[in-house]
Structure 1
Amino acid sequence: MSSEPDLARTVRIAARALGKHGLVHAYGHCSARLDADTFLVCPARPMGLVEPGESCTPVPVDGPLPDGVLGEVRIHQHIYRTRPEAGGVVRYMGPNAMALAALARSPKPRHGFGTYFAPEVPVWDDIQLIRDDEKAKGVVATMGANAGVLMRGNGAVTAGESLIEAVVLAWYLEDVCRVELEALKAGLADIAPTIAPDAAAARATKAGMIFERMWDHLTAGDPELPK
């Protein structure tokens, strides 16, 4: 596990990257697991405005949210509680994910990025904000073992083995939603090909520094990266 200062730095870098690339705006949050019992969440303000060195808040995996932590961070809690392999969570509201979630339509794996969410991205079919444990449990149960979940009218959540992975998966999911919307606009969504499970499993690789290279792209120029 990373030390708390190093992990907080990664959380801040992730927050600014998500803001820089339009995946969040006034709303959204990200977190990284510190240990089995605790995770760090970004400051409760627009993520693109998070300052270098700003404090991130430790949150218990079990128990009440600390004062000042956003209510939807309960989703993070329930992911970390039920998925011990999860090391990072992103709650994001990119325009394509928002549009497709509003349609309550699950994007299918039609190109390489979609294979990381095969056989398809589940949809939590409730427009209410996730500000109580019952709804948070429902979202996470709908998500299951998938890398992402859409929330009807409210964007998406991704989870990865690290926050770096969760951020890259958020970028991937946004592109998966873009492709699905293009298929819908072209009238081809019901007949366009999807990627079969075996092919999807082979394509959804982490080899070749795929996640690391996308992370470098998304975070380039961040003030807390080494010069």
Structure 2
Amino acid sequence: MRDLSVTVRLAARALARAGLVHAYGHCSARIDAKRFLVCPAEPMGLIAPGAECTEVPVHGPLPEGVLGEVRLHQQIYRRRPEAGGVVRFMGPSVMALGATSTVPAMRHGFGTYFAPVVGLWDDVQLVRDDARAVGAIDAMGGSAGLLMRGNGAVTAGASLQEATVLAWYLEDMCRVELAARAAGLAEAPAISQAEASQRATLAGRIVERMWDHLTAADPETAPKEKGGAT
């Protein structure tokens, strides 16, 4: 499981370098149907090469020392067998838009990966119990992303690499929404569902290229596999 641990640490530090996390945030990668691996409970940019990640059950109580909001990860892995990675982050545009309980429209290509719509959990309290975790992921629905009022966002992907890239996309989606509203263009036409279904492609190494970009400065060597069980 060494390579999967490296991937988790790579993602954590990449999210920090991209300004999507600070003192708070976490990410995880699925091991198998029953387990996933979560990053250390510390500022993600400070996670050292070789730092130990923690194995967490998909069903059952969180291990000692694991952050309470990792329940969000559990709920996603329980409901989505195809999910291989989860990111909890707090990018500045995500925070600004989520604080107003506003969901961004699909205005550019990156936004299409969240069709039909980004979920919204309209509760300012921290998600540190099972009931709130269930409610939040219920609100996420089938989307790849969830905004949490005043508390950042969550993304889920087929791998942790994809979830990390989606976090960058969601932050950019919120940036574009804020810019449109600041320019008085909130009513400008958004991308249709039909257009989104064609645009949201993974062909052409879409995920891989952004992952390479985000992890380029990392001190650990990226594993060759794209996440999942090892």
The TM-score normalised by the length of structure 1 is: 0.97
Measure, in 1, the Cα distance between the counterparts of 2:119 and 2:77: 19
How many Å separate the matches in 1 of 2:116 and 2:175? 17
The correspondence for 1:75, drawn from 60, 72, 91, is: 72
SS of aligned partner of 2:146: strand
Q: Which structure has the higher relative contact order (CA within 8 Å, separation 6+)?
A: 2
The structural deviation recorded for 1:120 is: 2.1
Q: Which amino acid aligns with 1:139?
A: A
Can you list the C-alpha shifts for 1:37-56, whole angstroms capped at 9, x where unaligned? 00000000000000000000
Instruction: Say whether residues 1:101 and 2:98 are aligned partners.
Output: yes
Match of 2:42 in 1: 45
1:198 equivalent to 2:200? Answer no
Name 1:169's counterpart in structure 2.
166
SS at match of 1:137: helix
Show CA shifts across 1:66-117 (max 9, x none).
0000000000000000111100000000000000000100001000000001
- What is the aligned partner in structure 2 of residue 27 from structure 1? 24
Aligned to 1:56: 53
The offset of 1:122, in angstroms, is 1.6
- Aligned partner of 1:121 in structure 2 is 118
Give the share of equivalent positions with the same residue, in percent.
69
1:223 aligns with 2:219: yes
C-alpha separation in 2, matches of 1:9 and 1:217 = 17
Question: Which whole-Å deviations, capped at 9, do the CAs of 1:112-137 have from their partners, x for residues lacking one?
Answer: 00000123212100000000000000
Question: 3-state DSSP class of the match of 1:208?
Answer: coil
- Residue 123 of structure 2 aligns to a residue in which SS? coil
Deviation at 1:183, TM superposition (A): 1.1
User: How far, CA to CA, are the matches of 1:120 and 1:175 in structure 2?
Assistant: 15
Whichever residue aligns with residue 224 of structure 1, its letter is E
Q: Distance in 1 between matches of 2:16 and 2:115?
A: 26
Which ranges in structure 2 are unaligned for 5 or more consecutive residues?
A: 223-230
Mapped to 1, the partners of 2:172 and 2:48 lie a distance apart of 28
Aligned equivalent of 1:155: 152
Contact 1:108-1:119 at 8 Å conserved across structures: no
Superposition TM-score, scaled by structure 2 size: 0.95
Alignment partners' CA distance in 2, 1:72 and 1:31: 12
Structure 1: stretches of 5+ with no match in the other structure: none
Paired with 1:223 and 1:70, the residues of 2 have a C-alpha distance of 25
Give RMSD over aligned pairs.
Answer: 0.7
Query: Distance in 2 between the 1:221 and 1:184 partners?
Result: 34
CA distance in 2, matches of 1:79, 1:122: 13
User: Match of 1:116, as an amino acid?
Assistant: Y
Question: Offset of 1:145 from its aligned partner?
Answer: 1.1
